[in-house]
Structure 1
Amino acid sequence: AAGQLQPGSLLLFDGRRSEIVRWYEPRIKRVADPERLLADVLPKVMDLYLPSECSLAFSGGLDSSIIAYLALSSGKKIDALVIGYEGCLDHSWASEAASLLGIRVKEIIVDDEMVRNAIQVLGKYLPRKSPMDLAIASIFYIASKNSSKKFLVAGQGSDELFGGYRKYADAFERWGIGRAAELMRKDVEQLHLMNLERDELASSLGGSDLIAPYLVKELYELALSIDPELKLRKTGEGIARKWILRKAAERLGLPRELVERPKKAAQYSSGLMKRIRFILSST
């Protein structure tokens, strides 16, 4: 029976029989100065891994702002795209962030007709069709359709690797860092099934190849090696998510307003999730 090949695996076939072998396991190591090392690795990854010209799914949040800032610093030509309904939070956040970074951002204002078309196309291929999956996939599909570049860059994987989701902070508060770390680990292990398969497919259907620099081997392994208590940090105002990533971004010179900015998930702040629920309920 057909099945999915797991990440880090190869399917070998010699004409008579097939064999699945593991070729990669992440190397977890002790990190003496994670903030400094992360601040060293991030620019290297963006310089080496990003193409000279590409589009960027830009929401004005920490992840995409770091990518834009470091890409520009290394001389890349970035077309920043923000997707959402008119008046949505993402458009205002992206505009403010673009102004702070000194870049231009192209606002793609969607309407129900565009979203219905995206759902119709994506629904034929997506393995899961929940409102959340359709909302996220629609963002990538519409961004890709509106991109003039071959490659679409996005911050996928950063939330799972650095503790960006609210559920991690909630688990930390209720049960301790061990439970939060376990949630993050499971989400990283499921990235290929729950996120990347969907997002790469949606981007490809729109005509672009998706690039996720936070998942480059060197950065990925470093993130896995960092103590979870440096990702979720107790402060006087509660639990700071992505604490170590924010500290590294601050060290690199990212404007403080962007370093400290909280951010909703794009499917909500773009307005797509709400409208997709309405569209699905009325069909």
Structure 2
Amino acid sequence: MCGIYCAVSCTRYILPSADLEKRLHNRGPDSSRTIQMKYSSKIYHTSTPDVHLTFSSTVLSLRGSRTVTQPYQDDSEEYTLCWNGEAWSIAGETNSGNDTEAVYRLLVDAVKTGTGSDVDDDPTNGASNIARALSHVSGPYAFVFFDRPHGHVFFGRDFLGRRSLLNKSTKSGEVVVASVSAEDPRDGWVEVEADGVYCIDLSAPASCPALPGSQTQKVGSFMAGQASYHFTQDAEADTGLSKSVIPRLSLNKSILPRHLPLTTASLAVANLETCLRESLALRVLNIPDPPSYDNGKYFPGKARLAILFSGGLDCTVLARLSHELLPASEPIDLLNVAFENPRIHKEAHVDPAGLTQAYELCPDRITGRTSYAELVRTSPARDWRFVAINVPYAETSEHRKEIISLMYPHNTEMDLSIACALYFAARGRGQIQSSASRGSLPYTTSARVLLSGLGADELFGGYTRHATAFRRGGYPVLLDELELDVSRLGKRNLGRDDRVMPHWGREVRFPYLEEKLLSWALNVSLTEKCGFGEAEVQLSANDEGCRTLEPGKKVLRCLASRLGLEGVAREKKRAIQFGARTAKMEAGKTKGTQLLS
């Protein structure tokens, strides 16, 4: 995880403000660096004015054996890379070294690839090559890459938008690109779309003030159906795109004419387990030792991994499979957040004992403790650390302005409710029980890697509205609803979440959004993911219990049952803002879609 920043101006160097610099450092506390340079070019025998470029990066070092400082350059200093991401594999080969160095070599090779000549100044061709190269990278990312020989600044996000990137242009033609904002967030900041590679062409013979702004354009794309450059898995081999890892974001709408109910023995359940294990192995193995946290004598050993843990189906399956991948000696932290909501807990804030009880009665705290007990029962050798994160209303109010600023340009009541829960959960500061002492003790997770179950509901039909859609119009209406979810995966939540949670120097990883798993989930028939409309047929005694599982996300519910998590397999879906009670904290009628004032 890193914080990246780039500013382009014809008149001055633009450093990040003190507040923005602090936020970037929060995201990447291990190293930081700023590079400033001038660029000038002669085209059509006309000198263009100097362009002032500022690149700044901070690094949270989680990949490779050493910290690699950014912005990254080689000895030639001809190219500059700011990289915020994880390259789990490149062109199908697992990348075990440092991502920044590997991606830098990939992009340099891409822009050096001419189209019939040694030097190609067309930004469209450069972006096409960049997009083609990045289509081979499996993992989340946002980047800024400066190609000095051709005068092009490229930037963009992965096709799902799993990493945040914002940009703004001023009236004088200055352009700023950054992971987060810090000034008044309404000061022109917009989210960079997760739909291609964007380019600022510094070599164009335009008038100075308008140069960057007028030349910023999307000139390449690596997302199917979005622009003229499509890099998908089924591309022809002779195009050089055969190693693309990016699936088509289109849903298989075929329905098997006759199908058996999903059970623990179904092939789809086995395939999901295989995909999920492979995805998790990349994300939970080889995490470096985190810095020390002083949690006292009762909690020996530092946790490398923590899970955003409501006790629901998605996160508990991740916890159970992570247990099978990690050495038994490693603790795993389960971060469970609950809020004081004055609209619900009207008297609790006056009585400390009542407030403690109010936290314990939050729906996600109840399911969290129940699922925690099931994990302990099924995997007793593991040191599972249930971290109860209790957030008083006064503390929510104190951080409200910061959270709103971090999540912008997302700006609704629902965004705030969700962002509050994620912000405090990622901080990882709460109370846990110890067998060596009575009562709760303060604890802060040492983990710098967090797992999130985001994506499972969209892929496997887990939202209440999916069940509503099926009741309203059967498979056709349900498929339309799921297709809508798939089409907006890169727009809805991920950029916001990546601005909010890494604020605490932690990286969030999304195993359900791994490219192979995503491709399988989109290509498999609906009836191999959900239980809506299942035929009433005879089941074996071993599988009879699967008949009573909810139809939403049934393939995942069957997997939970297969892993021994019978209670978890039957957990109902609950939105985080209601489970943690961050929704509607203020009196009065408000809707989730209402804009914040």
TM bucket normalised to smaller? 0.7 to 0.9
Find the counterpart in structure 1 of residue 415 from structure 2.
133
Deviation at 1:248, TM superposition (A): 2.6
Q: Are the structure 2 counterparts of residues 139 and 210 from structure 1 closer, same or farther at C-alpha, using a change threshold of 3 Å?
A: same
DSSP-derived class of the 1:42 partner = helix
Q: CA deviation at 1:267?
A: 0.8
Residue 373 (structure 2) pairs with residue 92 (structure 1)? no
Distance 1:6 1:72 in 2: 36
**What is the rounded CA distance, in whole Å, between the counterparts of 2:423 and 2:584 in structure 1?**
18
- The answer (yes or no) to whether the contact 1:82–1:94 under 8 Å persists in 2 is yes
Q: Structure 1 residue 238: deviation in Å?
A: 9.6
CA contact (8 A) 1:169 1:239 kept: no
Which deviates the most, 154-163 or 188-197? 188-197
Report how far residue 179 of structure 1 moved: 1.5
User: Alignment partner for residue 375 of structure 2, among 83, 101, 112?
Assistant: 101
Q: Which has the higher contact order (CA 8 A, sep 6+)?
A: 1
The SS at the match of 1:210 is strand
Superposition deviation, residue 13 in structure 1: 5.8
Change in 2 beyond 3 A, CA 1:199/1:48: same
- Asked whether the 8 Å contact 1:69–1:254 carries over to 2, the reply is no
Q: State how far apart, in whole Å, the 2-side matches of 1:41 and 1:274 are.
A: 38
- Write the mapping of 1:39-58 to structure 2, written as runs, cut at 5 A: 39-51=273-285, 52=287, 53-58=304-309
What are the superposed Cα offsets for residues 39-64 of structure 1, whole Å, 9 maximum, x if unpaired?
22111211222254222110111000
Question: Could you list the per-position Cα deviations for residues 109-147 of structure 1 after superposition, in whole angstroms to 9, with x for gaps in the alignment?
Answer: 111122223321121232223222111111111112224
How many residues align structurally? 280
Aligned to 1:110: 391
**TM-score scaled by structure 1?**
0.87
Larger displacement relative to structure 2 (103-112 or 231-240):
231-240
Q: Which residue of 2 aligns with 1:263?
A: 573
Secondary structure of 2:574's match?
Answer: coil
Residues 28-177 of structure 1 correspond to what in structure 2 (within 5 A)? Answer: 33-51=267-285, 52=287, 53-75=304-326, 77=330, 78-85=332-339, 86=359, 87-102=361-376, 103-125=384-406, 126-146=408-428, 147-177=445-475
Q: Distance in 1 between matches of 2:548 and 2:413?
A: 32
Work out the CA distance in 2 between the residues paired with 1:35 and 1:96: 24
Which has a greater percent of strand? 2
Give the distance between the partners of 2:419 and 2:271, measured in 1 at CA: 33
CA distance 1:92–1:239, change in 2 (3 Å): closer
Measured in 2, the distance between the counterparts of 1:256 and 1:62 equals 10
Paired letter, 1:163? G
Larger Rg: 2
SS at match of 1:55: strand
Q: How many angstroms does 1:16 deviate by?
A: 3.3
**Partner amino acid for 1:143?**
A
What SS is found at the alignment partner of 1:11? strand
Q: What is the TM-score with the length of structure 2 in the denominator?
A: 0.43
How far did 1:163 drift? 0.6
Matched position secondary structure for 1:192: coil
**Root-mean-square deviation over aligned CA pairs:** 2.9
CA gap of 1:280–1:134, structure 2 versus 1, over 3 A, is farther
AA in 1 matched with 2:336? V
For structure 2, the residue ranges without an aligned partner over 5 or more in a row are: 1-167, 170-189, 205-216, 223-230, 233-245, 255-265, 288-303, 340-358, 377-383, 429-444, 535-546, 591-596
In structure 1, list runs of 5 or more residues that go unmatched: none
Query: 1:159 Cα shift?
Result: 0.7
1:44-99 CA-partner distances (Å, limit 9, x unpaired): 21122225422211011100001100111101642110011312011111111111
> Could you say if the C-alpha distance between residues 195 and 97 of structure 1 is closer, same or farther in structure 2, counting changes exceeding 3 Å?
same
Q: Tell me how far 1:237 sits from its aligned partner.
A: 6.9
Report percent identity of matched pairs: 25
Q: Which amino acid counterpart does residue 574 of structure 2 have in structure 1? A: K
Seen in structure 2, the aligned counterparts of structure 1 residues 198 and 178 have a Cα distance that, compared at 3 Å, is same
Q: Which amino acid aligns with 1:240?
A: P
